[in-house]
Chains A and B, each alone.
Chain A
Amino acid sequence: MPKRQSGNKKGKQSNFAKLSIFQPNKYKFKKTCPLSVKGAPEVDYKNIKLLKKYVSENGKILPSRITNVSQKKQRELSLSIKRARNLALI
């Protein structure tokens, strides 16, 4: 039971609310970190095209709860975004 509850909470957070509580778990919207997948691009301060995806229109860093980036990658991202800012690339 506690597992299901946590699943429900996650659904609300990412605006993918379950249609029914009795729906089997396999239909749950499962998101994984887009940067940890095999063949994902490397996070680097020179790769502006990638970094721009994780920055809002005002130039702020997007929180990982929106972009679904893992903790480790989020740290790398924020560091490289700050480096790119210093060089006036972003």
Chain B
Amino acid sequence: MNLYEHTIIARQDTSPSELKQLTEKYSKIVEKNDGEVVKTENWGLLNLSYLIKKNKKGSYIHFKIKGKGNVIDELEKNEAIDKKLLRYLTIRVKKFDLETSYFGKKEDSEKKESAKN
């Protein structure tokens, strides 16, 4: 069993209910393949630093997954087809960092920085 961090970016015009559907859809795929979703994080709507398919913003969803390699194969196969998504990224980690959350807090600090500038 491996530990994975999986992030997907959805289009900017997806509604919150659709986002929930997306998270449920992909959590189900993980569970079907004998995987386990340890944690899901919703990073919210963030500004993209460059345009992706003419989108300026994207909603980020972050999964922490415990499972075998075939889980990731199946996930990425489905995500490559999905038109609601812009990007996905999977990273294998040795240890989950469940305490620090970089997003959420980050928005406040960014606002402060922009106010300074």
A49 at the interface (CB under 8 A from B): yes
Which chain B residue shows the least CB distance to A46? B102
In whole angstroms, what is the CA distance A48 to B70 when docked?
A: 30
Bound: A49/B97 CA distance, A: 17
Contacts of A61 in B (CB 8 A): none
**A48-B7 contact, Cβ under 8 Å, with A87-B87, A88-B87:** no
* Contact between chains at B9 and A87 (CB < 8 Å): yes
Q: Mark B90-103, 1 if CB is under 8 A from A, else 0.
A: 01000001000011
Contact (Cβ within 8 A) A88 B102: no
B87 to chain A, nearest CB (A): 6
Complex contacts, B48 vs chain A, CB 8 Å: 88
Neighbour of B58 across the interface among A42, A46, A83, A88, CB < 8 A? A88
Question: In whole Å, how far is A39's beta carbon from the nearest beta carbon of chain B?
Answer: 14
Closest Cβ of chain A to B88, distance in Å, is 9
Count, chain B residues at interface, CB 8 A: 17
Interface string of A57-71 (1 = CB under 8 A from B): 001000000000000
Taken residue by residue from 103 to 114, chain B's Cβ proximity to chain A (1 for < 8 Å, 0 otherwise) reads as 100100100000
Residues of chain A with a CB closer than 8 A to B89's CB: 83, 86-87
What residue in chain A is nearest B58 (Cβ atoms)?
A: A88
Binding site for A on B (CB under 8 A): 7, 9, 46, 48-50, 52, 58, 60, 87, 89, 91, 97, 102-103, 106, 109
The 10 closest A-B pairs by CB, nearest first: A88-B48, A46-B102, A88-B49, A47-B102, A87-B89, A86-B89, A90-B49, A88-B50, A87-B7, A88-B52
Residue ranges of A at the interface with B (Cβ–Cβ < 8 Å):
42, 44-49, 59, 83, 86-90
